Amino acid sequence: MMPSSLSCGTSDPPTMTDHERLRQLSADYAGALERYLAQPDETGLVAAYEVGRKALADGKGVLEMATVHSHALGGVLNPAPTDGERAHMLEALEKFQNEALSPFEMAQRGFRDANLILRRVNEVLEGQVRRIAYALHDEAAQLLASVHLALADLAVKQPELSKEIHSTRTLLNQIEDRLRRLSHELRPPILEDLGLTAALEFLADSVSKRWGLPVSIQVTTDRALPVIVETTLYRIAQEALTNVARHSQATHAEVHLARQGHQVACSVSDDGIGFDAETIATRPGPRGLGLIEIQERVVALGGVLRVGPRAGRGTELTVEIPVEP
């Protein structure tokens, strides 16, 4: 059970090593367990919770807690309990261990709920992006068509303005082309119609034309992925390639997509100057998704993100996302 107070108590000295902190945790756990077995009351369970909460805050995991509990058993089971004592002791040990592990259970539930919220937020955002893309592609195109008709009518009525009208039409065509590209970048129809591989190839072509950065695509699976996974991988590749084009001074980039068993892996690498992850994450100004937002997208699907130097030169960003068999 959770105690009424969540005070942290006395913190470990900052000079303690990981080994020393684990040894201190073992001592605290064993001491609290011995006191609880001697007097199994609410105070002892509160002490068990505090030990577990402190371990969680220190970055310890469930396996380390299981090891600490196992070591503590050596002290309380020596000498071995009698048959009459064994049942009561096992019950007390179970209660104490469950209470010590309850902070980990609460953290796991919170993590799971947060992932669910992030996933729903991603779905909502994708719906908004789809509507914006539709507005850019269809509604804006209709408005521009109306302007073209108005200009055509004006050209008939005012032929002396033909030069100015022609210049205006040229500008409108450029605007229409740019809006179409933005619409496809936001929500490429090819992603829904032909899947992730074709969408990545389209993205590579767009990046090459817009930024002058050659991008190669390598896909080693032709199996369909869940829609939310495909959309997430596309968004991550889109942001990563944009960052490469803007900041890396690279001459080439690569996107690798592979599905192995129950997970799909996607990596974006370049031959640029590399970067410091902390500097990029805290850089002021617009950053698109950014590493933090990419991390949130990946975590929402139960995946992992790794960013580091590429062998030889440049940077490699890799995500791994579990998928249903």
Average pLDDT of the residues of the chain: 80
Section 169-174 average pLDDT: 84
Residue 264 — very low, low, confident or very high, per pLDDT cuts 50/70/90? Answer: very high
- Among 145-149, 190-194, 320-324, top mean pLDDT goes to 320-324
213 close to 253: Cβ distance less than 8 angstroms: yes
For the domain made up of 192-325, give the CATH fold. Answer: Heat Shock Protein 90 (3.30.565)
List b or e across 258-295, with b for residues whose CB sees 16 or more CB atoms inside 10 angstroms.
Answer: ebeeeebbbbbbbbbebbeeeebeeeeeebebbbeebb
pLDDT higher than threshold 60 for residue 6: no
pLDDT tens figures, 59-114: 888 888 888 888 888 777 777 677 777 788 888 889 999 999 998 888 888 777 77
What's residue 3's pLDDT? 42
More confident residue, 272 or 179: 272
More confident residue, 211 or 86: 211
Section 143-160 average pLDDT: 83
- What is the percent of the chain where pLDDT is above 90? 17
Count of all residues that appear for the chain in the document: 325
Residue 280 — very low, low, confident or very high, per pLDDT cuts 50/70/90? Answer: low
DSSP bridge pairs for 316: 269, 308
Task: Report the alpha-carbon distance of residue 211 to residue 193 in Å, rounded.
Answer: 26
Six token digits for residue 278:
């902390």
Lowest mean pLDDT among 10-14, 79-83, 255-259, 275-279: 10-14
Domain segments of the chain as ranges: 18-116, 192-325
Residue 10 — very low, low, confident or very high, per pLDDT cuts 50/70/90? Answer: very low
What's residue 80's pLDDT? 67
Instruction: Name every residue whose Cβ is closer than 8 Å to that of residue 80 and which is 6 or more positions away in sequence.
Output: none
Lowest mean pLDDT among 48-52, 104-108, 189-193, 270-274: 189-193
Q: How far is C-alpha 136 from the chain's CA centre? A: 28
Task: Report the alpha-carbon distance of residue 265 to residue 259 in Å, rounded.
Answer: 6
Residue reference for tokens 């009698």? 82
Q: How far is C-alpha 98 from the chain's CA centre? A: 31
More confident residue, 187 or 311: 311
Instruction: Name every residue whose Cβ is closer than 8 Å to that of residue 8 and which is 6 or more positions away in sequence.
Output: 54, 57
More confident residue, 2 or 39: 39
Task: Report the alpha-carbon distance of residue 234 to residue 242 in Å, rounded.
Answer: 12
DSSP bridge pairs for 259: 264
What's residue 227's pLDDT? 81
63, 196, 214, 269 from 252: Cα distances, Å: 43, 21, 5, 9
Q: What is the largest CA-CA distance in the chain?
A: 111
Task: Report the alpha-carbon distance of residue 31 to residue 149 in Å, rounded.
Answer: 85
Instruction: Name every residue whose Cβ is closer than 8 Å to that of residue 303 and which is 6 or more positions away in sequence.
Output: 263, 319, 320, 321, 322
Six token digits for residue 81:
């309990």
